[in-house]
Structure 1
Amino acid sequence: MLPLRRLPPLPLPRGPAPRRLLSAAASAAASPSPLPWPGLHAWRRAPPSDLRTWGPDGPCASDAEEAAGAPPEPDAGAGSSLAEMGALVLSTADPLAKARLTHAAFSRWVAGLPVGQATAPDHPARPDKPLVVTQKEMTTHKEMRVPLNAYMLHNLAHVELNAIDLAWDTVVRFAPLRDTLGDGFFADFARVADDESRHFRWYSQRLAELGFSYGDMPVHNLLWRECAKSSSDVSARLAVIPLVQEARGLDAGPRLVQRLFGFGDHRSADIVARVAEEELAHVSVGLYWFLKVCQMMGRDSGDTFKDLIKEYGVVLKGPFNYPARDEAGIPREWYDEKFKQESAQKLEEVHDRLACIVEMEKENASLND
């Protein structure tokens, strides 16, 4: 399973060398593994996006005045490698500072920062608020007496904040596998972190427009618990996070958009729709690397996914957004028991028909004799 704890320490790469934007993922692009989503090449080629504000007509560049009034953040030039920058993000408690530092780290990576190595904290730094409760203790928007749209956006902002840390934890924790995985792996997950930081900014901005801020409502910590379970196995991390947790975002996105439209908040619905559209790349890139790691191990990817889901006690719950999952490339038989049963039944019917044809051919042959 390529467990991290069994690998000998690897030397740090030598100083940063300028790179073309695409070269960070060159090893990945050259792989014989299938590209599940046709848009993956374009996603990898795109420059770091500065569209971190949601304007009247959609994403736009951040307002200079807003940036000037932002709270202080750790020195973005402090890290000498991508892994060190990732560890710095994980150790940053203020959510907006975490988001800005993520963007700075990814921009520095594109400019030539090496992967390097660093130590990932057991838990990412968090602000004093929001209050973290268990899933059973979570209350509804009616019980909290807050508008539905603000309640939904706060939950989504929490998901995106966790997603920033999940991506950086993947970069930092598995940096010792750099010689095995190649720079493309770390380029992809640093880009995922940058996307998630932009999504958090959009949700935070919209919350502020509604008179709320991140931290005003309780949250649960399920996502990080899932991350912690897969901290020693890169194949498990890829199965549990992109192919289960982020895939659930594909399932939920259209339903959330419809609820916001029904509530009359078209601006929030547009933001959620755009985020759900961009999450397709994150699921697809997770699948790409899962297939590649399975290939390295010489294991069947479907069987490995099912084994890992069972081993780590992950529950696959519908309803599933089949078109989005199909577009991302996740085989239906990996996650849908009903589909697996129907496929097995159809295969059995085909075998039965073939058996009948064979018997008929034998009878015809005996009559001709």
Structure 2
Amino acid sequence: MRREMQLKLALFTPVKCALCSTLLLRPRSLAAPKPFSTSYSPWRGLQSWRASPLNEDRRWGSNGPEPLPSPQSPPYTEFEADDDPTASASSLSELGALVLSTSDPLAKSKLSHLAFSRWRRERLGIGVAKPPDRPARPSKPYLVSPKEIPAPKQSGLPLNAYMLHNLAHVELNAIDLAWDTVVRFSSHSDVLGEGFFDDFAHVADDESRHFSWCSQRLAELGFRYGDMPAHNLLWRECEKSSGDVAARLAVIPMVQEARGLDAGPRLVQKLVGFGDCRTSRVVGRIAKEEVAHVAVGVFWFMLVCEKLGRVPCTTFKDLLKEYEVELKGPFNYSARDEAGIPRAWYDESFMAKENKAEQLSEVYERLACIISMEKENSSLNTGMH
């Protein structure tokens, strides 16, 4: 399976082969949607999310998201017009590379929004750029293995700040994951099409806004991002899929970000129980907006599989097995259904029920066939007498 997938997906790596010629004869863009499998139902809000104007609500006010207190004229927002840090970039991929090379978390968040704003305003070309091997990171938080992450009582942070810090770490990584997807596969824009890159730059902008909310709320609680260790698991998963666009879509939005859909409601309940309703509203809003990011991953995964002539469900499972990615419940079925991930792809118990139903259906069909044949034989015998 590994060799077969590598050959078939070679169009998304620097080496091109004859097996890809059918896809590369005057490259057909993947941007135009085509009919999907009947088991896939795209997120209903996908088109409105794509067409939505720039979201400047980067502050969490008393009633929820709102623009910064003294918003400057777009597109600079947080930067002065004569001090535009993106001025040296002339393409979307170069803008993404700038974000990936920025180590300060708040600066990375602001620069991500500025980059997407400029892309939307100027409609730059996608271009071609090379991402850094790893995104630039601040000196804190210290990155440790997941087993070394301190428990809440040992972290030195109250429970609400502890959970918020973990979420901030996820959102900061998500900024880099989205921009890495844009930059890493930029050399194949003729095949993937502009829509692919626009979607993931949009995801990066959303994630930067989420990090801004988390950072603000941490400051209100008297803490800041970096006050406790964090793990590097998310980026390790990203590195696994660095040469395979189908694997990137399966592993990151369809597994890692989907876990956010599962965890979001539980975090909200814990924060309400802790008595921090303001933080619970922040977390709840972020979880709600993550549906779009999972939906984008599912949409493009389905389209890539269609172009490669592969069965999406089988391909998804094979890729997770190949890259040793584990699916863990409990699952938020309603949010996953909304995002468009078929349950049979990730829930073995649901798949077992489906298989049992199919087997019963086959039995019923055979019985109906036997009964029909018996009736025919009976009528023939009657006629002969």
Question: Normalising by the residue count of structure 2, what TM-score does the alignment of the two structures yield?
Answer: 0.87
Unaligned residue ranges in structure 1 (runs of 5+): 9-25
8 Å CA contact 2:30–2:304 kept in 1: the answer is no
The one of 54, 66, 77 equivalent to 1:48 is 54
State the Cα distance separating 1:209 from its structure 2 match.
0.4
The one of 28, 31, 41 equivalent to 2:31 is 28
CA separation of 1:234 and 1:160: change in aligned 2, threshold 3 A = same
How many aligned residue pairs are there?
Answer: 350
The one of 153, 157, 160 equivalent to 2:168 is 157
State the Cα distance separating 1:307 from its structure 2 match.
1.0
1:139 is paired with a residue whose SS is coil
The one of 255, 258, 266 equivalent to 1:255 is 266
Aligned to 2:285: 274
8 Å CA contact 1:158–1:219 kept in 2: the answer is yes
8 Å CA contact 1:74–1:92 kept in 2: the answer is no
Aligned to 2:332: 321
Stretch deviating more after TM superposition (127-136 or 29-38): 29-38
1:141 is aligned to 2:152:
yes
The one of 314, 334, 339 equivalent to 2:350 is 339
Aligned to 2:14: 5
Stretch deviating more after TM superposition (156-165 or 136-145): 136-145
Decide which structure has the larger Cα Rg and report it: 2
State the Cα distance separating 1:63 from its structure 2 match.
2.2
1:85 is aligned to 2:88:
no
Aligned to 1:57: 63
Unaligned residue ranges in structure 2 (runs of 5+): 1-8, 18-28, 381-385
Instruction: Name the CA distance, whole Å, in 2 between partners of 1:188 and 1:68.
Output: 23
Instruction: Name the CA distance, whole Å, in 2 between partners of 1:35 and 1:29.
Output: 17
User: Per-residue CA shift, 1:74-101, capped at 9, x if unaligned?
Assistant: 7122211110110000000000100110
Aligned to 1:265: 276
Instruction: Name the CA distance, whole Å, in 1 between partners of 2:296 and 2:338.
Output: 12
Aligned to 2:6: none
| Amino acid corresponding to residue 356 of structure 2 in structure 1 | Q
Alignment of 1:91-110 (within 5 A): 91-110=101-120
Stretch deviating more after TM superposition (73-82 or 114-123): 73-82
User: Per-residue CA shift, 1:227-257, capped at 9, x if unaligned?
Assistant: 0000001111000001000011111111111
8 Å CA contact 2:30–2:191 kept in 1: the answer is no
Aligned to 1:286: 297
8 Å CA contact 1:35–1:288 kept in 2: the answer is no
Instruction: Name the CA distance, whole Å, in 2 between partners of 1:337 and 1:68.
Output: 47
Aligned to 1:38: 44
CA separation of 1:68 and 1:29: change in aligned 2, threshold 3 A = closer
Q: What root-mean-square deviation, in Å, do the aligned CA atoms of Structure 1 and Structure 2 show?
A: 2.0
State the Cα distance separating 1:368 from its structure 2 match.
2.0
Instruction: Name the CA distance, whole Å, in 2 between partners of 1:96 and 1:184.
Output: 28
CA separation of 1:139 and 1:74: change in aligned 2, threshold 3 A = farther
| Amino acid corresponding to residue 229 of structure 2 in structure 1 | P
The one of 131, 136, 140 equivalent to 1:120 is 131
